[in-house]
Structure 1
Amino acid sequence: MANDATDGDGEIGSRLIAHLVELRSRLLRAIGGLLAVLIVLLPLANKLYGWLALPLLAKLPPGSRLIATQVASPFFTPMKLAFCVALMVSMPWLLYQAWAFVAPGLYKREKRLALPLLASALALFYAGCAFAYFIVLPAVFTFLNNVTPPGVAMMTDISAYLDFVLAIFLAFGISFELPVALVILVLLGWVTPAQLREWRGYAIVGIFFVAAVLTPPDVVSQLLLALPMIALYELGIIAARMVAPKPGAA
């Protein structure tokens, strides 16, 4: 009996060590991929920042420029942007490494559902960031430029601008994950598609509240977040109906 217990403990220890080795391997591959993308993007850091600043510069008077109020910010701010872009570009690789680590422990049905959810979440996050850059930021900066008092020049610091844009990207990227969140709630059995339809009115009120909190205090930018989220809520209901367990299913 003692030998059986010892063998069992040894087997558990061996499995744990194997999992830790696999985790270390996946982490190293993930970090290596991120660093490789970052190395490629670092020489382009200033060009990336110039591209990021276009929505603001396009709305300012001709000849306007961003300013740097800190000594080292002209160097560190583009580097920070390059890292953020590298993180977004390498996100499929990072998620693949995470998936490769956890997939062996999943059931066949879980694998069949998890992969489309991951791909959809990634695509929706990218779509939210693109929507923010091409649609929301020009509208926000148009509003801010129009409400600027006469005689006041908008002289935005490059570091503050980057933080503002990254916050907008994050807000819209996460907000666009709404369909995936609804599908997960349905798969967990916490809600049903019928309940989501019944709660549509409350959801719309909540969406407008979130839009008012996350966007500048103007109607245009709030609508630019609220209306897509309402459409995504409806899309989430449709997707939830497709994946919801059927009554009587085993």
Structure 2
Amino acid sequence: MSDEDIDASKAPLIEHLVELRQRLMKSVIAIILMFIVCFYFATDIYNILTVPYLRAAPDPTAVQMIFTAPQEWFFTQLKLALFGALFLAFPVVASQIYMFVAPGLYKEEKGAFLPFLVATPILFAIGACLVYFLIMPMAMGFFLSMEQTGGEGQVAIQHLAKVSEYLGLIMVLIFAFGLVFQLPVVLTLLGRTGLVSSEGLKDKRKYAIVAAFAAAAILTPPDPISQIGLALPTLLLYEVSIISVRLVERKRAAREEAREAEEA
């Protein structure tokens, strides 16, 4: 290869690196702006996140939370702001990723990639809503049922939550459910590339059941409600993925038949 060919190959690479830097900067700026907004409203957001706790409590007016270190509430607000910033800035980050990748894709590939980009935040939001409206109230109800009022021969046992521990619990559940709800997106993309098939997924269903409960045991707190609450939707999403991959295979077969008919 001559020096001219080497210099010519360097130019596109430098252009791609410059564009990548610009895309990353825009994504970081979006995250920073959302972080500032979420930090300003951190207390309000935290109060919204405590609604499942209040719904599960026998007396919502008596619910109290504490922080046991001077800096705990401040760092909890920082974590909450980062959590909200990543969620709110995702559309910007995803659009920057798409605009960086899109020029290297064929028209058909662009049309196939875009629906998955749109489905990702929607499925994550569905998983988060399931946690907020169903799983978290049920889990908190289970935990609070272990309280003991006390009396003759009994000691009073009451739950006094720490602000950081409650935020950690609900964030873990939201992330766990949000990630698991990406299963149809991941398996359908693998189906488009031919790495998995609907028949293969059906044959491995029994392994998927074991994997779903194992993942639920790892990703959620050690209580039966949240673990079963994650495992069952995972299995349902696995069945949805099989249907989605089957549709992809049918479309691929139809395109191949049409191509063969044109060649004939």
TM-score using structure 1 length: 0.90
Query: Partner of 1:96 in structure 2?
Result: 95
> 2:38–2:80: 8 Å Cα contact kept in structure 1?
no
Taking the aligned partners of 2:222 and 2:79, their CA distance within structure 1 comes to 28
For residue 216 of structure 1, give the secondary structure of its aligned residue in structure 2. coil
Q: Does 1:19 align with 2:16?
A: yes
Which structure 2 residues correspond to residues 133-144 of structure 1 after superposition, within 5 A? Answer: 133-144=132-143
Query: Are residues 8 and 184 of structure 1, via their aligned partners in 2, closer, same or farther at CA, if it must alter by over 3 Å?
Result: same
Query: Partner of 2:82 in structure 1?
Result: 83
Taking the aligned partners of 1:199 and 1:79, their CA distance within structure 2 comes to 42
CA displacement 1:63-89 (0-9 Å, x = unmatched):
121100110122221232022112101
> 2:30–2:89: 8 Å Cα contact kept in structure 1?
yes
Question: Which runs of 5 or more structure 2 residues have no equivalent in the other structure?
Answer: 150-155, 260-264
Query: Partner of 1:69 in structure 2?
Result: 68
For residue 148 of structure 1, give the secondary structure of its aligned residue in structure 2. coil
The aligned amino acid for 1:142 is G
The aligned amino acid for 2:51 is L
Taking the aligned partners of 1:27 and 1:202, their CA distance within structure 2 comes to 39
Match of 2:40 among 10, 26, 43: 43
CA shift for structure 1 position 15: 1.2
CA displacement 1:138-158 (0-9 Å, x = unmatched):
011000011235511211111
The aligned amino acid for 2:65 is L
Taking the aligned partners of 1:40 and 1:217, their CA distance within structure 2 comes to 34
Moved more, 216-225 or 76-85: 216-225
> 1:176–1:232: 8 Å Cα contact kept in structure 2?
yes
Query: Partner of 1:52 in structure 2?
Result: 49
- Percent identity between matched residues is 36
Which structure 2 residues correspond to residues 118-197 of structure 1 after superposition, within 5 A? Answer: 118-150=117-149, 151-197=156-202
> 1:140–1:216: 8 Å Cα contact kept in structure 2?
no
Query: Partner of 1:110 in structure 2?
Result: 109
Query: Are residues 216 and 73 of structure 1, via their aligned partners in 2, closer, same or farther at CA, if it must alter by over 3 Å?
Result: closer
Q: Does 1:223 align with 2:222?
A: no
CA shift for structure 1 position 57: 3.1
Query: Are residues 64 and 32 of structure 1, via their aligned partners in 2, closer, same or farther at CA, if it must alter by over 3 Å?
Result: same
Query: Are residues 247 and 191 of structure 1, via their aligned partners in 2, closer, same or farther at CA, if it must alter by over 3 Å?
Result: farther
CA shift for structure 1 position 101: 0.9
For residue 195 of structure 2, give the secondary structure of its aligned residue in structure 1. coil
Taking the aligned partners of 1:207 and 1:173, their CA distance within structure 2 comes to 14
Question: Which runs of 5 or more structure 1 residues have no equivalent in the other structure?
Answer: none
CA displacement 1:95-114 (0-9 Å, x = unmatched):
11011111111233322221
> 1:48–1:78: 8 Å Cα contact kept in structure 2?
no
For residue 246 of structure 1, give the secondary structure of its aligned residue in structure 2. helix
Aligned residues: 247
> 1:132–1:168: 8 Å Cα contact kept in structure 2?
yes
Taking the aligned partners of 2:38 and 2:9, their CA distance within structure 1 comes to 43
Taking the aligned partners of 1:149 and 1:98, their CA distance within structure 2 comes to 52
CA shift for structure 1 position 205: 2.9
Match of 2:253 among 243, 246, 250: 246
TM-score using structure 2 length: 0.86
Taking the aligned partners of 1:29 and 1:155, their CA distance within structure 2 comes to 42
Taking the aligned partners of 1:222 and 1:168, their CA distance within structure 2 comes to 10
CA displacement 1:175-211 (0-9 Å, x = unmatched):
1111112212222322211121222233223222322
Moved more, 226-235 or 172-181: 226-235
CA displacement 1:1-32 (0-9 Å, x = unmatched):
xxx71221111121121111111111111122
